[in-house]
Amino acid sequence: MSLDTAEKQKLINSHQVHPTDTGSVEIQVAMLSERISKLSEHLQKNQQDYSSRQGLLKMIGRRKRLLNYIRSKSENKFSDLIAKLGIRG
């Protein structure tokens, strides 16, 4: 359930902080959110895929830690990112 190059570039362009930004926390959260949504769709069709379920839970935990980091640095960035991605914080 990985992202192809075009999808990654689209996410980077929409969430980058400055023109040469390719790995900021905001971009990492956006990529994880996209991968989580794709993997969730896969698991709805394949309910007994336990190894993918474990990977999904790890990605959700990582995204949560990154969101907590953003929240500790700037509440405004956090709320903007949550609204932009359409996820619960």
Per-residue pLDDT of the chain (89 residues; tens, 9 = 90+): 688 999 999 999 999 989 999 899 999 999 999 999 999 999 999 999 999 999 999 999 999 999 999 999 999 999 999 999 999 87
Q: In the prediction, which pLDDT does 52 show? A: 95
Q: Which residue, 25, 29, 31, is CA-closest to 3?
A: 31
Q: In the prediction, which pLDDT does 88 show? A: 85
Q: In the prediction, which pLDDT does 2 show? A: 81
The topology (CATH level 3) of 5-85 is Helix Hairpins (1.10.287)
Collect all residues with Cβ–Cβ distance below 8 Å to 27 and sequence separation of at least 6. 11, 12, 15, 16, 21
E strand spans, the chain: none
Six token digits for residue 80: 């903007």
